[in-house]
Structure 1
Amino acid sequence: MYFKFVVLAAFCCIATSAEFTSYEGHKVYDIKPENTVHQELLARLAQNDVYDFFTLPRVLGLSARVLVQPEQQAEFEQTLQAAQLPYEVVNENFGETVAEERMQNNFFRNLRSSSRSSISFSAYQRYDAINSYLDQLAENYPSRVNLKTIGKSYGGLALRTITITNGDGNTNKKVILLDAGIHAREWIAPAGALYVIQQLVENFEENSHLLETYDWVILPVVNPDGYEYTHTNTRMWRKTRKPASKSCVGTDANRNFDFHWGEVGASSSACSDTYKGASAFSEPETQALRDLMHSLTGRAKFYLTLHSYGNYLLYPWGYTSALPDTWEDIDEVAQAGAAAIKSGTGTDYTVGSSTNVLYAAAGGSDDYAFAAAGIPISITMELPAAGNGFNPAPSKIEELVRETWLGIKAMAEKVEQKY
């Protein structure tokens, strides 16, 4: 209680010019379908853009979670009750949660703003702080760290990769490619990528075996325009920020890749959170990631993209319930990650193909990396929410990125054994 008072007091007098979107009165529902009829109802509801489904698993026994605005709540609850679909309100006022998260995050971020020696995991870092950290690593470890700008966002922000090596000068090693932040609001994903970077660079002695035959190429923020917008304006913004129509902005970058683009699980409506874009690779951010993938074809053996939330390790296909011929190879790697996390922390991860575990969604980066860029192991990792309505509270970041690293490290070790 004392801590909460201090945080609130610290920010009650700080003026800001930002116009934050209010989520006052929005509720978060946890819904557990008991049969296929329930699942089909939820799938139909998810097609309505007024409901913001955070997760919608297809596996019975796993809960869906959805954010509903005040004016829609009565009808939404009546629909669930009529279908005898069990639900629980897990957050009565999402607006309060967002406001508290913002205050706590700013409080802890400001406490560490004077330090550039390492990154802090007590707060979600802004784009500039992430870049400052990368710059400091390049300065401190010039033989093992190389930075590159692979493109720019629609808003002109640099898309920067960090290549991490063991400094032996071999420029033709195999590669693990990792990215995060395709969806703007998933703050824990860039935090997870930053922890991987820290472990490989600053904790090199303990993790040097991961760099003997592989280099790591990491793009910690794929969608910096959207990421910044969630910090300054609309917390639950998901898309890019390029205008999509006269009245709507942004494309779901993870529906914008040119592999079965637009076939299923993506919207043609420019205002939808899952808008596929006017064309495949309509966004400069997805173009840059595509080009990065192809530049590593032949060398890249493992593509890992970090998202949130839900404790899932997912692999192709996202456009169909069918599985690729080599699915068992990918599953073996994903299962190694899940087992390491379970052993280390007790957290359970669900493993399987995207369509069969969650939902069909064509145009994703993982399908494209596997099918078009020829990367044999391609996995989407959905990080936990730690019981919160969406992202983990700032106080939970370090605990979760440590847990995530257990899984990523185990998957990398399995890939090194196989390729």
Structure 2
Amino acid sequence: MGLNMDFAAVSTVSLVFLVLIPLAFTAGPLTGHSVLRVWPAGEKQVTLLQELLSMRKSLDIWKGPSCATCPVDIRLTPFEYDDVTSSLKENNFKVETMISDIQHVLDSQRRDLKYKPKAAVFDYSKYHTLDEINAWTMNITNVYDSMTSVFNVTKSYEGRSLMGFKISTPSPFARSAFWIEGGIHAREWISPATVIYMVGQMLDRYKIDPDITTLVDSFEWYILPVTNPDGYAYTWQSDKTRLWRKTRSKHGLCYGVDPNRNWDIEWSKSGASKDPCSDTYCGPKAFSEVEVKGVSDFLRNISGLKGFIDFHSYSQLWMSPWGYTKKLPKDFKQQDEGSAAAVDALQKVFGTKYEHGTIANIIYTASGSSADWTYGKIGVKYSYGVELRDTGKYGFLLPADQIIPSGQETLQALIGLAAYIKDNS
């Protein structure tokens, strides 16, 4: 009887392991990963938080310290969670879990990606792969061949094209130019999706919607949907790579450079890392990344460039230079008035609130950024970095059902900004 009971016990234990092992293998790579929001209370706590984070270089900082009371978002593995949260609470930080299981959010997003229309139809309400975006670029420029033309900025580190297109309508006089780019940070999918929706509307509703017609006719438009194609393609490979931020160049044992710290202005100073494994690694030298150097060369050759926007996510911020210092540039008043015109128009659509100001003053210091370079090096007064939806509920994993609302409100912001720039060039 005793032997039978022991055998039954062993059998039960074995059965448990047989059940648990398959479950372990079907769990995603980010199962149990969470996003913790930390609320500092004053400058002393900000300094303390910066010190605590600097001791844990492996942490994925989604939103860094920016002001005395601004929240900080950190992605934590299950192994880090208890230790980090305990340390923060011991130092009297207020903490809140924004995302309890990143894998659950990813699973929902992946399920949504499976349901796509036929190849001939481009669904603006879905996220798309790089190949799908490039195919859309070729298709829409063929449909509107009288007012669009494709350009290739350069080849990426891994040999992909940085493919964009120009929108230009007939005019008896020379017009100023406006550059819009998305996807410089790979994991920020809402950025290319919003850019694509906006320019799709600019073409589809030209001569139908008077505001859009005025917008299109006001400038020569240069659109680059995905500025970091290698990184963006990498985020589509698996759940494990979905949160990749950088380029894919090789640096020792680590990969990638933050392409928004690699521009040749105040390079490798505040807000950038010299550690090749860091998400904010500035590179071995300014313009080390072929993508960044290619875009800078292309921008230099655009005649009459008056407007520049580099779209990011997340935080709902409309930002102007400088990023490398909290000192205000000489053109700040007009730059910020342009930001105000944009966010006021944006808020009227769905009530979404954006803050505006300089990069360093409302988010964090960041040297070697695109907006600083276009303003400081080639004189584009109205240069902006924009952080799109949301404010942290989903962070970099914004659901696809927010693409079109984001595009609709941001398009109105662009209409407001373009009108301001045209009147204040």
SS of corresponding position for 1:176? strand
Aligned counterpart, 2:4: none
1:46 shift after superposition = 4.1
Deviations 1:194-229 (A, max 9, x none): 012112111112211113231110111000110010
Segments of 5+ residues of structure 2 without an aligned counterpart are 1-25
The 5-angstrom pairing of residues 162-181 of structure 1 reads 162-168=165-171, 172-181=174-183
The 5-angstrom pairing of residues 209-224 of structure 1 reads 209-224=214-229
Change (3 A) 1:20 1:148: farther
Question: Structure 2 counterpart of 1:147, which letter?
Answer: V
How many Å separate the matches in 2 of 1:290 and 1:20?
42
Structural RMSD (CA)? 1.8
**Do the aligned residues in 2 keep the contact of 1:45 with 1:51 (CA within 8 Å)?**
no
1:59 shift after superposition = 3.7
The 5-angstrom pairing of residues 13-92 of structure 1 reads 22-47=29-54, 48-56=56-64, 58-92=66-100
1:98 shift after superposition = 1.6
Question: Structure 1 counterpart of 2:336, which letter?
Answer: D
SS of corresponding position for 2:254? coil
- Structure 2 residue 406 is matched with structure 1 residue 400: yes
Aligned counterpart, 1:107: 114
**Do the aligned residues in 2 keep the contact of 1:50 with 1:68 (CA within 8 Å)?**
no
**Do the aligned residues in 1 keep the contact of 2:125 with 2:401 (CA within 8 Å)?**
yes
The 5-angstrom pairing of residues 8-407 of structure 1 reads 22-47=29-54, 48-56=56-64, 58-104=66-112, 106-108=113-115, 111-116=116-121, 119-168=122-171, 172-205=174-207, 206=209, 207-233=212-238, 234-245=241-252, 247-296=253-302, 298-385=303-390, 387-407=393-413
**Do the aligned residues in 2 keep the contact of 1:151 with 1:285 (CA within 8 Å)?**
yes
How many Å separate the matches in 2 of 1:138 and 1:68?
43
Report how many residues are paired: 393
SS of corresponding position for 2:251? coil
**Do the aligned residues in 1 keep the contact of 2:105 with 2:397 (CA within 8 Å)?**
no
Question: Structure 2 counterpart of 1:42, which letter?
Answer: L
1:20 shift after superposition = 11
Change (3 A) 1:329 1:37: same
Question: Structure 2 counterpart of 1:128, which letter?
Answer: D
1:370 shift after superposition = 0.4
**TM-score after normalising by structure 1:** 0.90
Change (3 A) 1:45 1:101: farther
1:169 shift after superposition = 7.8
1:191 shift after superposition = 0.6
How many Å separate the matches in 1 of 2:103 and 2:178?
39
**Do the aligned residues in 2 keep the contact of 1:257 with 1:286 (CA within 8 Å)?**
yes
**TM-score after normalising by structure 2:** 0.88
Seq. identity, %: 30
Segments of 5+ residues of structure 1 without an aligned counterpart are 1-18
**Do the aligned residues in 2 keep the contact of 1:33 with 1:39 (CA within 8 Å)?**
yes
How many Å separate the matches in 2 of 1:89 and 1:212?
46
**Do the aligned residues in 2 keep the contact of 1:33 with 1:85 (CA within 8 Å)?**
yes
Question: Structure 2 counterpart of 1:122, which letter?
Answer: S
**Do the aligned residues in 2 keep the contact of 1:28 with 1:90 (CA within 8 Å)?**
yes
Deviations 1:54-113 (A, max 9, x none): 113524554221111122112211121112111111222112212221221x223xx224
How many Å separate the matches in 2 of 1:177 and 1:374?
13
How many Å separate the matches in 1 of 2:57 and 2:304?
40
Q: List, as ranges, runs of 4+ consecutive aligned residues in structure 1 with deviation greater than 4 Å.
A: none
